[in-house]
């Protein structure tokens, strides 16, 4: 008998391979955003990625830490942040958001695996609070500024809502990477196929919003397709570092995200609640993990 320390189950997955798969899964949403919003979408993604990767390199170089930009995690953060930005946001604001995400949220807490919250989500909230006007100015694909579907729902202007097919394909106003449900679902399918994530968090997150909004008389299909629900549930709530480790914990965490999103959307002054819900649940994710850990065989509760 060979006695060794855990972990006993190993595979060939690495941070680099996982982040590469996430980048591949994000490609359909990038293509959709460029088709809908034009070159400005690609430009903002490029700026966010350059400043995210550059910030990580310079900070680690200055602190004498190993350079980790080759694991692609900074690039993923840059893409996700860009997907959470309006298509006409000034480029310097996008760059500032990337610096906040990498330096303030990720590196100051020790780098990948040590951050308490999703860097892209936190940076988006910082930008929203700091630059509320530009962060809530939306451009419809015909270049006319207007309200997003969630804004129309909040204002009670239901007759102006676009058809469900437009929302599914993404030919509506909104943040760069959130408008096309089809593109996001393709990315979700790829991540499931590659076993990068499991279905628990996205399904329970979206399902909670669907059920609760239906119970209070709102159209749940619009609530799912509008805003950043699918983007957040698939790509950001599932972040390894900031979500619970146990399946039971992930379900509780996802339901909490869905409930907070529902409360903000329906009863709050701000029509979107995905970013705030994920950030709040990120903070208590370690406690959820501790409360849902299985007792080892033969273990004794203390």
Per-residue pLDDT tens over the stretch 37-81: 889 899 999 999 999 999 999 999 999 999 999 999 999 999 999
Whole-number average pLDDT of the chain:
89
The better pLDDT of the pair 22, 156 is held by 22
55-85 residues labelled b (16+ CB within 10 A) or e (exposed): bbeebbeeeeeeebeebbbbbbbbbbbbbbb
Q: What is the pLDDT of residue 145?
A: 47
**pLDDT grade, residue 143 (50/70/90)?**
very low
Looking at residues 139-159, what average pLDDT do you find? Answer: 65
Q: What is the pLDDT of residue 226?
A: 86
pLDDT digits (tens, 9 = 90+) for 231-276: 999 999 999 989 999 999 999 999 999 999 999 999 988 878 899 9
CB 285 within 8 A of CB 125: no
- In the chain, where are the structural domains located? 15-142+149-292
CB 284 within 8 A of CB 118: no
**pLDDT grade, residue 295 (50/70/90)?**
confident
Look up the CATH architecture of domain 15-142+149-292. Answer: Orthogonal Bundle (1.10)
Q: Rounded to whole angstroms, what are the CA distances from 193 to 51, 190, 197, 198, 233? A: 31, 5, 9, 9, 17
**pLDDT grade, residue 301 (50/70/90)?**
low
Helix (H, G, I), strand (E, B) or coil at 145: strand
The better pLDDT of the pair 212, 162 is held by 212
């Amino acid at each position: 008998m060979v006695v060794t320390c855990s972990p006993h189950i190993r595979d060939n997955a690495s941070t680099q391979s996982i982040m590469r798969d996430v980048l591949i899964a994000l490609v359909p949403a990038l293509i959709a955003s460029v088709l809908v919003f034009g070159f400005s979408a690609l430009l903002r993604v490029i700026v966010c990625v350059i400043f995210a990767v550059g910030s990580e390199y310079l900070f680690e170089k200055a602190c004498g830490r190993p350079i980790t930009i080759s694991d692609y995690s900074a690039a993923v953060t840059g893409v996700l942040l860009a997907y959470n930005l309006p298509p006409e946001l000034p480029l310097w604001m996008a760059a500032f958001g990337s610096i906040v995400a990498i330096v303030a949220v990720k590196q100051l807490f020790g780098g990948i695996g040590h951050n308490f919250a999703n860097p892209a989500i936190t940076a988006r909230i910082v930008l929203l609070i700091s630059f509320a006007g530009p962060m809530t100015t939306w451009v419809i694909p015909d270049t006319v500024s207007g309200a997003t579907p969630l804004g129309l729902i909040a204002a009670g202007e239901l007759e102006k809502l676009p058809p469900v097919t437009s929302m599914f394909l993404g030919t509506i106003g909104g943040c760069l990477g959130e408008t096309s449900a089809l593109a996001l679902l393709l990315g979700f399918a790829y991540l499931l196929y590659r076993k990068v994530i499991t279905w628990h968090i996205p399904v329970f997150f979206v399902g909670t919003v669907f059920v609760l909004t239906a119970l209070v008389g709102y159209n749940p299909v619009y609530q799912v397709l509008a805003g950043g629900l699918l983007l957040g549930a698939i790509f950001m709530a599932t972040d390894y570092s900031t979500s619970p480790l146990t399946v039971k914990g992930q379900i509780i965490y996802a339901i909490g995200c869905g409930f907070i999103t529902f409360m903000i959307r329906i009863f709050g002054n701000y029509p979107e609640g995905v970013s705030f819900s994920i950030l709040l649940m990120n903070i208590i994710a370690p406690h959820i993990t501790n409360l849902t850990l299985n007792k080892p065989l033969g273990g004794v509760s203390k």
